[in-house]
């Protein structure tokens, strides 16, 4: 499920070339997840690494993560 979530998030990534000819990428639904690199492939790799850390930290801190492609990583406590 985690891999599918990462794939779904990366499909939403947007990229642009900045004035200094480096690549900037971000995932709009994942606030604060962005990367900058001299190559597009490097930017993608860095963005995925940032995303993975963002997911792990968010889960550890109990933050609400966006539901992507129907995948919900949030912890839901059942009420008895």
pLDDT in tens, 3-36: 999 999 999 999 999 999 999 999 999 999 999 9
Question: b/e per residue, 35-74, with b = 16+ CB within 10 A?
Answer: bebeeeeebbebbbebbeebbeebeeeeeebbebeebeee
Q: What is the pTM of this model?
A: 0.91
pLDDT band at 79 (very low <50, low <70, confident <90, very high): confident
The continuous run of DSSP H or E covering 65 comes out as none
Q: What's the pLDDT score for residue 73?
A: 95
User: How many Cβ atoms are within 10 Å of 76's Cβ, its own excluded?
Assistant: 6
Span 55-59, average pLDDT:
97
Q: How far apart are CA 72 and CA 78, in angstroms?
A: 15
Q: What's the pLDDT score for residue 76?
A: 81
Name all domains of the chain by residue range, CATH numbers in brackets. Answer: 2-61 (3.30.160.250)
């Amino acid at each position: 499920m985690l891999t599918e979530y990462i794939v779904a998030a990366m499909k939403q990534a947007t990229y642009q070339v900045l004035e200094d000819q480096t690549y900037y990428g971000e995932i709009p639904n994942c606030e604060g997840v962005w990367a900058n690199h001299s190559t597009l492939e490097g930017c993608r790799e860095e963005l995925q690494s940032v995303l993975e850390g963002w997911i792990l930290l968010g889960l550890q801190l109990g933050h609400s993560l966006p539901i992507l492609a129907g995948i919900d990583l949030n912890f839901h406590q059942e009420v008895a």
